[in-house]
Amino acid sequence: MAKGNFGERLKREREMREVSLEELTKSTRISDRFLRALENEDWDKLPGGVFGRGFVRTIARYLGLDEESLLGEYDLARADKSQAELVKTEERIPSAPKWVPAVAVGAILLLAAGLFYGGRYGWRRYTAYRAAKQSTASAMASQSPSQPTPSSTPAASADPLLDLSVSTSAVTRVRILADDKLLLDAEVPAGETRHFSAAQQFEVTAGDSSAVLLELNGQAMPPLGAPGSSGTIVLSQKDLRPASGGTTQP
């Protein structure tokens, strides 16, 4: 996608509906600088990951646009920017001087020689040590009766701790209980990510279900409720998808 296509389309759709940046900021709770950065494709001023995608989804919903189509154009535009930066970085990497391979070969030869001679000396010492140890063990076995070896009991493995990641794409009130202990009950700004730990379960409540994205031990969780409405969800070990081999992912 050529630079400017996504931002120009977003600005055109907004102006066609006679929606000002001030109105869009007030309605979506997305700051004016983030909206301008999206329309100008100034990616360095925008958060990445779920935050940027959450902004685009919220704007598309308010303007009545197809969310998935607009998200696809956004992802393509950011991917083009990342690929261009990668090419520039590779062009700046200088090639190694011609003498480096020769020095590397010489170092490898010296290391191989040291390992060869050191290995022969070490093997002789190890053989003598094994012979002395076996002789001592035989002498002790002939002088004392054998003792039973206590069996070891494997330690029971405990379930891993739960790690909850809470990200917001718009301002909303969030309440979090971890093992029935209140950890958070406040209004969280847009574009924030907070982490919480629990041994058994979490109970998460949000004023706007569509403004909150949840990840449990790195796995995305379902929405709390219908978009635009409040919702509550309880998360525990049983909500983790089993990984290959029958264990839950960390």
Q: Which of 36, 39, 38, 34 is nearest to 8 (CA)?
A: 39
Do 154 and 132 meet the contact criterion of CB atoms below 8 Å apart? Answer: no
In whole angstroms, how large is the CA radius of gyration of the chain?
31
For the chain, the first-to-last Cα distance in angstroms comes to 37
| C-alpha pair distances (Å), 181 with each of 235, 240, 248 | 14, 21, 24
Measured CA to CA, the distance from residue 53 to residue 243 in angstroms comes to 27
pLDDT given for residue 152 in this prediction: 45
Measured CA to CA, the distance from residue 170 to residue 58 in angstroms comes to 8
Do 45 and 78 meet the contact criterion of CB atoms below 8 Å apart? Answer: no
Within 10 A of 178 (CB to CB), how many other CB atoms are there?
A: 19
Measured CA to CA, the distance from residue 55 to residue 190 in angstroms comes to 9
Q: Which of 205, 209, 237, 204 is nearest to 223 (CA)?
A: 209
Q: Which of 227, 229, 235, 226 is nearest to 166 (CA)?
A: 235
Do 225 and 208 meet the contact criterion of CB atoms below 8 Å apart? Answer: no
Do 249 and 240 meet the contact criterion of CB atoms below 8 Å apart? Answer: yes
Do 55 and 37 meet the contact criterion of CB atoms below 8 Å apart? Answer: no
Question: What would the two tokens of residue 243 be?
Answer: 């990984």
Within 10 A of 210 (CB to CB), how many other CB atoms are there?
A: 21
Q: Which residues neighbour 81 within 8 Å (Cβ) at sequence distance 6 or greater?
A: 3, 41, 43
Long-range (24+ apart) CB contacts under 8 A made by 177-185 are: 177/202, 177/203, 177/204, 178/202
Helix H segments across the chain? 5-16, 21-28, 32-40, 49-63, 67-92, 99-143
Do 218 and 187 meet the contact criterion of CB atoms below 8 Å apart? Answer: no
Instruction: Give this prediction's pTM.
Output: 0.40
- The whole-number mean pLDDT for each consecutive block of 10 residues of the chain, a chain of 250 residues, reads 76 94 94 92 85 91 93 88 58 61 74 66 72 74 54 51 90 92 92 92 90 88 84 90 56
